[in-house]
Structure 1
Amino acid sequence: MKHLFKICLLTFFVVMSCSEDNDETQQPNTPNLVIKLKFDPSQERLNNVGEPATIPDGNAAQSPTISRMSANYIELAPGAFTPLGEGEVVFNGSETTTGGDRAINFQNARFAGNDEVFLTLPLNQVSAGTYEWVRVSLAYQEGDVDFLLDGVDYTGTLASFVGYNTYITTFDLNGQSIDVNGNRLQGFWAFEAEGFTAQGQAPAGATTVPNPLFDSSPIPQGSCVVTGAFENGFTITGEETQDVEVVLSFSINNSFEWTEVNADGKYEPSAGEQVVDMGLRGLIPMVSE
């Protein structure tokens, strides 16, 4: 059985979907902008340009169970023609050049799970105005996926580094230590199942990154900046007296996709079935009333 696990992990080639942290010092009697994360398997499944996407013939997919996620950048954009970086940037994650080129500093990354708070920021640090869009540069996602091996169903944990470039020393995956000590470009992954681990690098440009503003406000290749629209806009007056909560709901609807060898809808890497995408499939920002 251990030999079969090693074969499974070796054939697991996964293709996946800036400055210092903001000062979040609490200020007495000052309302906050509170940003939460949500991972929704029933939310619409989109492609890179924000259009509904079906699973191609010959492929299969499943909705993973995401346990935690990290972002490196959050921006509120007033309109569809606002260039990336020229909106209201409310969060910049930690970066470093320790590994050479500029990269996300994974050791200082901020994480949140489903329905958990990712960011709390005093509202007086956010410019008053109406924002139609939000942009989130994703850095990391971790969750469980099901796979079939020798006719038996198992669950493994996948760590996906989807940021533009990430500096990683060592990280823990289900109690297993993964040593990297260097920079890794978008698409680096690690997998753990039954105590066995594997790691690899996906090809450039393979991660689905939905951007409905593809024509009016493109994003750089490899940046993993997912874009979503507020249904009725998001207005900050500067006169708020209570916290304002924004939920960033990400679609994980069949976001783990692979090519089928055995047409049974189950992922079977030992049969040569290879993953073709694990990018998130859409973003809907919601303002809590």
Structure 2
Amino acid sequence: MKTLNLFTCLMCLLLFACSEDNDDTQQPNNPNLVIKLKFDPNQERLNNIGEPATIPSGNAAQSPNVNRMSANYIELAPGAFTALGDGEVIFSGDETTAGGNNAINFQNAQFAGDNETFLTIPLSDVTAGTYEWVRVSLAYQEGEIDFLLNGTDYTGTLGSFVGYNTYITSFDLNGETIDVNGNRLQGFWAFEAEGFVTQGQAPEGATTVPNPLFDSSPIPQGSCVVTGEFENGFTITGNETQDIVVTLSFSINNSFEWTEVNADGKYEPSTGEQVVDMGLRGLIPMVSN
């Protein structure tokens, strides 16, 4: 009898363990929406209304080597007439009034480099539907640019704040600490080369923000909300079983622009050549699994 009872107990334990194993294998997947960034110097160069743009006479430009970028807002829009804010907002960065007016809180910003993941959220948090457009409010970009000084070519690091308003305590630019302790409007920039740091402010409204929906869904001046169209739409069914990756490909095609003093196509700040535009030049969202 004792042997029978022991055998019965062992069988129960074995069946329970198998039942648990089966439960594990039957657990539903929890797929994510993964947002990646890409910086493409060969992507078409657009103007504010999403049309191809050339470099104005008297100016010159170059494609920077962007190292990292930060966004403050990402929204999926079902159609061309979806007003800003009425779509599916999948990301909102931290903001603060520590510097006075409401501003992006740079100290809590998220960053990503080329082909790196900026955001991962459960697909279950995104409303099922078909989206034709994506809007991204950019906040900061950082990278290397070439410049000329006393006839010698150098490379320096540019940090440009393209968000509508940014509260900055301090930030590191290629190992150099820059103290601000206040708000800075769109177009604030800092430049480091050979340990020397300078900073400035681009003219109001000078930062290019491509929006092909200029007529149907305008954006506020100075907001830096870049708009891009999904080639075949982007559908979320709610029944996905694997991650969906959306790569936000930004055009950096001659996106750093300045006024020429010496008409040689080289940025020469020592001669008084002034930065006039640091805005990105287009957005193409691409979907993959």
| TM-score, length basis structure 2 | 0.89
**Corresponding residue for 1:148?**
148
Equivalent in the alignment of 1:113: 113
- Mapping of 1:17-32 within 5 angstroms? 29-32=29-32
Counterpart in 2 of 1:71?
71
1:165 aligns with 2:144: no
Distance in 2 (CA, whole Å) between partners of 1:40 and 1:30 is: 31
**Corresponding residue of 2:22:** none
Corresponding residue of 2:19: none
Equivalents in 1 of 2:167, 2:28: separation in Å? Answer: 36
Moved segments of 4+, more than 4 Å: none
Three-state SS of the structure 2 residue aligned to 1:265 is coil
Percent of aligned positions that are identical = 84
Task: Measure, in 2, the Cα distance between the counterparts of 1:164 and 1:154.
Answer: 31
**Counterpart amino acid of residue 246 in structure 1:** V
What is the aligned partner in structure 1 of residue 179 from structure 2? 179
Q: Report the alpha carbon displacement of residue 185 of structure 1 after superposing the two structures with TM.
A: 1.0
Once the 2 structures are TM-superposed, how far is the Cα of residue 246 of structure 1 from its aligned partner?
Answer: 0.2
Aligned pair 1:192/2:192, yes or no? Answer: yes
Q: Which consecutive residues of structure 2, in runs of 5 or more, have no partner in the other structure? A: 1-26
Aligned amino acid, residue 111 of structure 1: F
TM-score, normalised to structure 1's length? 0.89
- Give me the CA root mean square deviation: 1.2
Partner of 2:124: 124
Mapped partners of 1:270, 1:171: distance in 2: 24
Q: Match of 1:119, SS?
A: strand
The total of aligned residue pairs comes to 263
Report the Cα offset of residue 99 of structure 1.
1.1
Contact kept? 2:96, 2:102, Cα under 8 Å: yes
Find the aligned partners of 1:135 and 1:252 in 2 and give their Cα distance.
17
Deviations 1:76-116 (A, max 9, x none): 00000000000000000011111111111100000000000
Moved more, 94-103 or 139-148: 94-103
Query: Could you tell me how far 1:29 is from its partner in structure 2?
Result: 2.9
Higher relative contact order (CA 8 A, sep 6+): 1
- Could you tell me which residue of structure 2 aligns to residue 57 of structure 1? 57
Give the deviation of 1:276 after TM superposition.
1.7
Question: What residue is the counterpart of 2:24 in the other structure?
Answer: none
Note the alpha carbon deviations across 1:28-63, whole angstroms, 9 max, x for none.
Answer: 830000000000000000000000001122221110
Gaps of 5+ in 1: 1-26
Report the counterpart of residue 270 of structure 2 in structure 1.
270
AA of the residue aligned to 1:284: I
Q: Which stretch shifts more, 146-155 or 179-188?
A: 179-188
Contact 2:202–2:276 (Cα < 8 Å) also in 1:
no
Partner of 2:199, secondary structure, is strand
CA deviation vs aligned residue, 1:162-193 (integer Å, no higher than 9, x gap): 11111111111111110011111111111111
Q: Give the match for residue 250 of structure 2.
A: 250
Query: Partners in 2 of 1:29 and 1:106 — Cα distance?
Result: 35
